[in-house]
Structure 1
Amino acid sequence: MRIVIMGSGGIGGYFGAKLARAGHDVVFVARGEHLRAIRENGLRVSSEVDGDWTVDAPAVATLDGQPPADLVLFCVKSFDTEDAAELVRPVLGPGTGVLSLQNGVDNEDKLARILGAGRAVGGIAYAFVHIAAPGVIAHQQLARIVCGEFGGTAPGRLPAFAEAGAAAGIRVDVVPDIRRSLWEKYVFLTAFAGATALTRMPAQAVREVPELRRLWQRQIDELLALARAEAAGLDEGVAERCAAFLGSVAPISYTSLYHDLMQGRRLELETLHGHAVRLGERHAIPTPTLSAVYAGLLPYRDGPPKVT
């Protein structure tokens, strides 16, 4: 397959590198020092699962002049969705899908408004990854993508991607109700990201410190109340699955919200806790814990606070 990776950070870089290593035609879109490093030295993956390895694949700043892609893996931060959507237009052929592997539950709606019906594909990336240095992706665990079409559009493109992923060592599950899957990840990720970023502590602490575990659990409870109000279709077992997933992640695992905070980058806070707080206001559902976490991280939303 010809695959464009729009946003070559942790998620895009890791999955794109695995696809390129398996022989697929992969083009990485990156910027700044990360782009320069990939061009000069290739993209290196340092994985606790399958060791260190490097792929040499094209890396570009724009897609002007590039041929149409079979699929675009859309992996930019949620606050860059609109700008990045405009950048992928040159590689959109008649059947090209744009598979969002972003945090949050409304990116696909933004993509559909900008690129038109039938383009946006819902997706969830399960992988603990981050940029360790320009041109270097660190991977701790998991290599799974869940994806699904909205309204049954272009039924052949996701099975083809699932085959490509399997050949690259990526588990790709194609599901019929992607909105429900997006919400299930949103519930877990928002609570886990809030706990790790607010306290600067990893998964082990979230599991083992009783007060921190209660902070995590109260976020889960509030998010599930919002999911019911939004008719997200989550079943009664989702809380148990969230707890099981928390128990399965590596003890030193953090989230991208934590890594962005510690590296002084802009946070996806509005996509996670901000969105939940606004939904609570819309549905008149109390969100005291989510609101407290949001308030605690808000000064860092746009980078390190400027204190005078």
Structure 2
Amino acid sequence: MKFAIFGAGGVGGYLGARLADAGHDVHLVARGDHLSALQSDGLRLESVAGDTSVDLPATDDPSKIGTCDYVLLCTKAHDVEDAAADLHPLLGEDTAVVSFQNGVDSERWVADEVGEAHVVGGVAYIFSTIKEPGVVEHTGGPARFVYGELDGERTPRIEALHEAMSESDGVDAVLADDIAVELWRKFTFICAQAGMTATTRLPIGDVRASDASWEMFEAIMREVVAVAQAEGVDVPEGTVSEWLDFARDLDPEMYSSLHYDLTHGKAMELDALNGAVVRHAAATDVDVPMNRAVTAILRPWADKNSQQ
């Protein structure tokens, strides 16, 4: 099958390499120095699940790729709307655009541009990043990718995607019964992990060591679950407890990508994370003071970084 990886960074580069190794026709969309390295030297994946190198066509112009069976949209959340406008040359009648971003709004943003019929929801659990131009480093995490049609239907295209993902070494592939639940489950954790490590500028171990901060970590998650349930998403009641147990076992020196972007002057995903909780809550009767606090504290930095 033919895949376009739109955003061949940590997540997209990992998937592109694994799918190519499984024999699929993979095209990469990237930019800047990373694109130049992909074009001259190919893509190298350094992974705890096994290294590989692949020489794949790479471009910053989707019209040079043509229509695909699947587009895996792996940009940062704040780049989704701009990226969606560039997807049209890749789309055939039944092309699926699988959105792998943090947050719960990307699918709607993509659907507004290309139509809901093209959109498949996706969740990625992986610790990977661009180590240097042309090199993607996978340092840990389950390399677990969850996806599903927005209406939960088991269509031929989602079954075929599941087969392609499942046969790719180093990919833990999961076809979801209800992708909205999966999106909000991850969102619950990442809002707390990102929000607390960014606002305190300290790793998770220090957050856990402070009773007040750990209580806020839990409160952020409870607010997210309450908003999801108010919107009709059936997030399981045990979600917060499960994530707390998970967070207790994390490396005490772990931060988050939001913290990295904050401290490195990069565009931040605040509006896709805690800011999104505040927006969604406004349409419900759920109060979200902890997420409002995180958003207020980080807003000046998000605005400042976006101008750099």
Tell me the residue number matched to 1:2. Answer: 2
Supply the distance in 1 between the matched residues of 2:15 and 2:251 (Cα, whole angstroms): 20
CA RMSD of aligned residues (A): 2.1
Does the CA contact (< 8 Å) of 1:122 and 1:149 recur in 2? yes
Supply the distance in 2 between the matched residues of 1:173 and 1:4 (Cα, whole angstroms): 20
Instruction: Report the more deviating stretch, 209-218 or 6-15.
Output: 209-218
Tell me the residue number matched to 1:171. Answer: 172
Secondary structure at the aligned position of 1:301 is classed as helix
Q: Structure 1 residue 176: deviation in Å?
A: 2.0
Supply the distance in 1 between the matched residues of 2:257 and 2:224 (Cα, whole angstroms): 19
Supply the distance in 1 between the matched residues of 2:306 and 2:155 (Cα, whole angstroms): 47
Deviations 1:132-154 (A, max 9, x none): 22222222222111111023567
The answer as to 2:46 corresponding to 1:42 is no
Map 1:177-196; keep pairs closer than 5 Å: 177-196=178-197
Does the CA contact (< 8 Å) of 2:27 and 2:57 recur in 1? yes
Tell me the residue number matched to 2:20. Answer: 20
Does the CA contact (< 8 Å) of 2:128 and 2:139 recur in 1? yes
Q: Structure 1 residue 122: deviation in Å?
A: 0.6
Supply the distance in 2 between the matched residues of 1:110 and 1:230 (Cα, whole angstroms): 18
The TM-score normalised by the length of structure 2 is 0.91
The TM-score normalised by the length of structure 1 is 0.91
Structure 2 unaligned residues grouped into runs of 5+: none
Deviations 1:41-93 (A, max 9, x none): 2222233x235443221111011132321111011122222221121211211
Supply the distance in 1 between the matched residues of 2:135 and 2:154 (Cα, whole angstroms): 34
Supply the distance in 2 between the matched residues of 1:42 and 1:197 (Cα, whole angstroms): 34
Does the CA contact (< 8 Å) of 1:299 and 1:305 recur in 2? no
The answer as to 2:241 corresponding to 1:233 is no
Does the CA contact (< 8 Å) of 1:70 and 1:96 recur in 2? yes
Tell me the residue number matched to 2:214. Answer: 213
Tell me the residue number matched to 2:296. Answer: 295
Map 1:40-79; keep pairs closer than 5 Å: 40-47=40-47, 49-79=48-78
Structure 1's consecutive aligned runs of 4 or more residues displaced over 6 angstroms after TM superposition are none
The answer as to 2:87 corresponding to 1:107 is no
Does the CA contact (< 8 Å) of 1:128 and 1:253 recur in 2? no
1:251 and 1:139, CA in 2 relative to 1: closer, same or farther beyond 3 A? farther
Secondary structure at the aligned position of 1:122 is classed as strand
Does the CA contact (< 8 Å) of 1:148 and 1:178 recur in 2? yes
